[in-house]
Structure 1
Amino acid sequence: MRFTVDSLVVEPATSDAWERPRRWLEAVSWRAAAGVAAVALVAVGGCLALRSEPRDAAVVLPRASAVAPTPVPAGTAVPQQAEIVVHAAGAVARPGVYRLAATARVVDLLEAAGGPGDGADLDGINLAAPLTDGARVHVPAHGQEPPAELDIVEAPPAPPDSEETPGAPVDLNTADAAELESLPGIGPVTAAAIIAHRSEEGPFPSVESLQEVTGIGPVKLSRIADLVTAGQ
């Protein structure tokens, strides 16, 4: 079958055929523009929100102040090493009293005293023994019986700084047993004898008459004479 060109008729495009694509493109363009605008608004809003938030204030730490050393008050004496006073006696070159450090030992005292004297027997003493204040060290000589221990005689304890004021004298004619027993050398037996003598013979006329009581002689009376009285 054959067709001729003359039989083909080309119809012009209608307006509806072009109108639909144009409307579709316009709708797509409007939606895209709206989306871009929305994204832009969100971005701008986010930037404004970030700028409007207050920044954290910088924390400024105070400078650490240097701690100055505590000054020592004027006039405060720094304690120094204590000293002791010791007596060297016996077979030493220079017997006498010497002032030594508190940590001194017998060998230090022997050296301070000029060393051992003629005939000193050092085998019988302990040269390493520590010393105490007020002690007396006796170094024996050969032929003397060496002491079992080093002959270090310590000084008696010093009396207290403040002496106690003696109380009122005890009245021999009115004192009870407890008051009489507070006297040196008077025990329960002697106190009972004083009270018995006072009851039988009457009041003591004097302190010396206390010797009439059994157990009290001149020595014991001398110890309490200044502590008693014989009131009438």
Structure 2
Amino acid sequence: MGLPLDQQWVDVSTDPPDPPPRDPWWRRGRVGRLVSEWLPEISAGGHRRLAIALAGALVLAVVVALWVAMSSRGVEHEAPPVLPVAASAASSTPQASIVVSVVGRVASPGLVTLPEGARVADALRAAGGPVPDVDLSALNLARRLADGEQIYVGMPTPPGADPVPAAAGPPGVADKVDLNSATLAALDTLPGVGPVTAQRIVNWRTAHGRFDSVAQLREVDGIGPSRFARLKDLVVAR
């Protein structure tokens, strides 16, 4: 005869059953389900879909690489446009030259070769320039030079030396540089005018046909009021 239900013995020594094992982390979620669906196909020999995917990824990588290479090449070879340079008579006609002697307080005394029409300032520059603190007040730096003459810098003219042309008064019309026919070399001899400014004067003359007046020098880039004041008595527009 059995015991009453409230007195029946219950065996609690046994553990509850283990929960069912969980899927690995890479099988969880939507991505995991897709991976789980693909794995059986791959293991069963279904490599076609994987091969197509890999081929598509390779083609995309090649296209991106080509696009990057073409873009970078376009940037490297980009260059500013080359500005035209006006033709000059000096490029086709040999420029006559003169030789003068520069002695005294200059960096490199001796003989210097200069283009015809050069001035005292050009001779000093060709001789390396005067030494510091030398007094140049006795020299007319704008005077045109003659072939074979000698220039004494910072020292008195020795007795019996050839006389130096007078420095008084502005140069005559025959001594002035004609803005409409002067070459680059002739323009470069003007005080305060270097190769760059001389080229700008020639470019302005080429663009406008000719100079109608000396005042039009003010329209040349780089020639301001002070530089024009130094040049206006040394040039002419014939």
Q: Please, what TM-score do these two structures have when normalized by structure 1?
A: 0.31
Larger gyration radius, structure 1 or structure 2? 1
Higher relative contact order (CA 8 A, sep 6+): 2
